[in-house]
Structure 1
Amino acid sequence: QVIRKYMSGGMCGYDREGSPIWYEIIGPLDAKGLLFSASKQDLLKNKFRDCEVLQHECEKQSQKLGKKIEMVLMVYDCEGLGLKHLWKPAVETYGELLSMFEENFPESLKRLFIVKAPKIFPVAYNLVKHFLSEDTRKKVVVLGSNWKEVLQKYIDPEQIPVEYGGTLTDPDGNPKCPSKV
């Protein structure tokens, strides 16, 4: 429960080809608090479950669209990324998470867009990129100030939360779509 409450992110919409989109919101994440409140194993299990949800969503989309959907588009919102996120045990846990993703779900990442990357982002990326295969690294795209337009090239605005330059809101009108992301 602690993990569900404090880990942000979720599936929200589909790209123009029908692949599910997963958002990760990095800024508000309290890595230290999370690792003191839940075991590393529980965190990894939780993320593994998220990956299974995405895999199941790909299967549903494949049936719905009548074509093979096997990959996921990811959007990492790095606004607020700071030194607190670079705490060594958190970086190590994140590295394990990336390794688990690579081992269990190879070739399931279509593209990973990094948006709102602060100046510290290259430092953070350098700490974790060695956990990623060369193929995966090629799929990581750090977007500049025109990130909303770039997202709209790949995702219909109706599938993007207002917070990210689209027209999608929660049923209560919230532009951040917290019920999904």
Structure 2
Amino acid sequence: MAARPPQHGSLRRAFNVVTDWVMGKKVVGRDAAGNVYYRWYEGSGEERLERREVQWSTAYMFYDPNDIPSEWRMWLRKQRDEPPSEEEMRQNAAKKAALAARVAVLDEAERLRRLRQQTVGMPDQHAGAQPDMARFLQQMGSGGRGAATGPAPGGGGTPGPSSGTPGGGDFKPDTWRPGSSS
């Protein structure tokens, strides 16, 4: 995708036009930014290859590849066979504008929601609010769901060192070695 600088002199531009004509380059289309898209073929028979190129409308080295519309980008990468039509480009531009309008409405609704939360004084849970540690400790000590105190599940007595381990109280982590029988 070599781009030619538009600031070359008239002799250079004439040479490029002749070279394009000899190579068989054909203009396939233009986009809204003024970029020109070409197609030509190299080789013959089974080895004939299609080549595609864009000639940037901006000055040399001051172009942004993201300025190419996605339809043309897909055509350049041979992800689609035919270049996009003017009607397709208009439809996609209308879809983008409608999507941008919907995003603006959602952004405004989110801004108003956050403003209401700030004026009421409720913490915003989605904007990096810190957890309430006092409430967490109160829930942990209340004996309700998830409490750390109380009898172990399945056992009727008080929790002890042997209640949560398989095999009862015989387990001694300092004395056991892999491969030992006990």
Same fold (TM over 0.5): no
Larger radius of gyration: 2
- Higher relative contact order, chain-length normalized (CA < 8 Å, sep 6+): 1
**Hey, which of these two has a bigger chunk of helix by percent?**
1
TM-score tier (shorter): under 0.3
**Hey, which of these two has a bigger chunk of strand by percent?**
1
